[in-house]
Structure 1
């Protein structure tokens, strides 16, 4: 089966492309950058911008399934950038699927589309979208998710997956950032006792996408629906980060920043970064401060029942795998 994966230069998109190829599918990827590793692995790549409808239509040509994984996932930046990529880009993917009569579209969304700033403990997919967002990323992802689910009809079957805080070997953003700050003595953690998060090991996320591929057919219960994806193991965030640091043979950092202090620091940093001439992004934003100060864990029953998916890799096993992947680097930095 010929399958298009957008955003294969990213963590999820790249791992998904490799898994699909291992399963015998003809995989084509679409992204802005040039990723030699994908080509070396025999994965066809097409370079282009999601905001370019004709480029997206060209990439979709001949495909039976589209996995739309690409997104601008930063917590800071101009609204226009997020709208071009996350909103307009998704609209173009939907248009291209309809234009070429592609029967299935699977969208990689995020639990942040329903984050309202409060604790979210054991929530399911019935939780509504909030009225306001503190960042352009969750706002535009919510718009995109609504568009994908709204496009579901007798000709195009769609669904959305909401994997939470994806981590594991091969991650080039979250884990490297944590390790870099720890090595420089700049890693600070929010002290919010009892706050639990349910992060997701990368293999469990890819398994969910493959399960969605099998389950999504015209008339199936999953059509037009969204699904939370996580490990099913709520844990205090500082304990997960401690496990990541130990995997890299680094000293564990204890939480020492209060949620209130984090909020006001983020407010100040955002204000400073709005001053003309100030570049880069704040080290902490209000959205991130809220996320790190509140619980996020989910009822995964819908994904288990409708998709036949189960998280197979535990957090403990995931950390062991991460340690093995980091061992050469850890030895070099001693």
Structure 2
């Protein structure tokens, strides 16, 4: 079997490539820059942009299956950037899969495609997309997922996976953002952090992708659906943040920013970015503040039933692994009270 992984040099994409090559699968990747890590794995690298249909065609040609993992992620920024990569890029992948008679397509989506103010508590995949998304990233990822699911057919079996907050050794996103948000031993965050949040270890996310690929090839009838993927272990956000910081050697106390103040500051930031057309994907936004304030955890029954999914590593074991592998971080903790904030400092 020959499998193409788009975004194979990324955090999740590289782990998927590791697992495929360990199986002896002929693996290739489509990305914008060469990767020494992929080279060491023996992965064939195609260089190009998802928005370039010819580049996608060259990468897809000769493959039996595609794992479409590449995307532009962020909590703010103009829609045009997200649309080009996440929607037009996904459309190119689907069209080239059809053109080159690829039999199976696994799409990496996100649980954020159904997120709405008020949060998500034990929701199933039957929950529809909201009428209005708070940011371009979840809006374009929802459009991309819909494209993939509509493409499911006897000729091309498709499935979309929705992992949430992927973390683990080498995490370039969530844990580093938390570390950057610490000031003087204080982590300034909107709300009290009591909202329950489920997360996804890197190995769990990659494991789910290979399960989905196997199941699509064996039983294409399970396709045309989206599946939530996570640890199935929701915990208070404050506890998660504490554990991730401790794994990096940082002691910090949660300092609550009043929700109304955080939301107002995010609305101002969103408006300012629209005016100046800033491309900054990690700026403060209403989407980020809403996700930090509200619960988000999911019913995994469908993935367990249809994909035989179970997390291969638990939250505690993942934390122990993270602590062993995390690079040392500067701990600037002080025993000082929380200041009265003017602008909340929150992670991406």
Please confirm whether the aligned pair reaches a TM-score higher than 0.5, indicating the same fold: yes
Separation in 1, partners of 2:33, 2:177:
21
Change (3 A) 1:282 1:2: closer
Residues 192 and 238, structure 2, Cα contact 8 Å, conserved in 1: no
Partner of residue 191, structure 1: 191
Partner of residue 91, structure 1: 91
| SS at 1:28 equivalent | strand
Partner of residue 233, structure 1: 233
Separation in 1, partners of 2:32, 2:163:
23
Separation in 2, partners of 1:69, 1:277:
27
Change (3 A) 1:88 1:259: same
Partner of residue 329, structure 1: 328
CA RMSD of aligned residues (A): 2.1
Q: What displacement does 1:276 show?
A: 3.3
Separation in 2, partners of 1:68, 1:74:
18
| SS at 1:66 equivalent | strand
Residues 211 and 309, structure 1, Cα contact 8 Å, conserved in 2: yes
Change (3 A) 1:311 1:52: same
Partner of residue 53, structure 1: 53
Partner of residue 41, structure 1: 41
Separation in 1, partners of 2:47, 2:195:
42
CA deviations over 1:262-289 (Å, ceiling 9, x no partner): 1111112223334438774564200011
How many residues align structurally? 333
CA deviations over 1:125-178 (Å, ceiling 9, x no partner): 000111111111111111110110000011000000000111110111222222
Separation in 2, partners of 1:72, 1:33:
15
Change (3 A) 1:231 1:282: closer
Residues 273 and 282, structure 1, Cα contact 8 Å, conserved in 2: no
Change (3 A) 1:65 1:266: same
- Structure-2-length-normalised TM-score: 0.90
The higher relative CO (CA closer than 8 Å, separation ≥ 6) is in 2
- Structure-1-length-normalised TM-score: 0.94
| SS at 1:147 equivalent | helix
**2:119 matches 1:119:** yes
Change (3 A) 1:27 1:184: farther
Partner of residue 145, structure 1: 145
| SS at 1:329 equivalent | coil
CA deviations over 1:45-93 (Å, ceiling 9, x no partner): 1110111111101100111110000001112222111111011100000
Separation in 2, partners of 1:185, 1:281:
26
Change (3 A) 1:184 1:49: farther
Residues 73 and 281, structure 2, Cα contact 8 Å, conserved in 1: no
Give 5+ residue unaligned stretches, structure 1.
none
| SS at 2:159 equivalent | strand
Q: What displacement does 1:119 show?
A: 2.3
Partner of residue 342, structure 2: none
Partner of residue 73, structure 1: 73
Q: What displacement does 1:34 show?
A: 2.3
Separation in 1, partners of 2:215, 2:180:
40
Partner of residue 245, structure 1: 245
Separation in 2, partners of 1:151, 1:277:
33
Residues 49 and 55, structure 1, Cα contact 8 Å, conserved in 2: yes
Residues 76 and 283, structure 2, Cα contact 8 Å, conserved in 1: no
Greater shift in the superposed pair: 71-80 or 240-249: 71-80
Change (3 A) 1:190 1:69: same
**2:319 matches 1:319:** yes
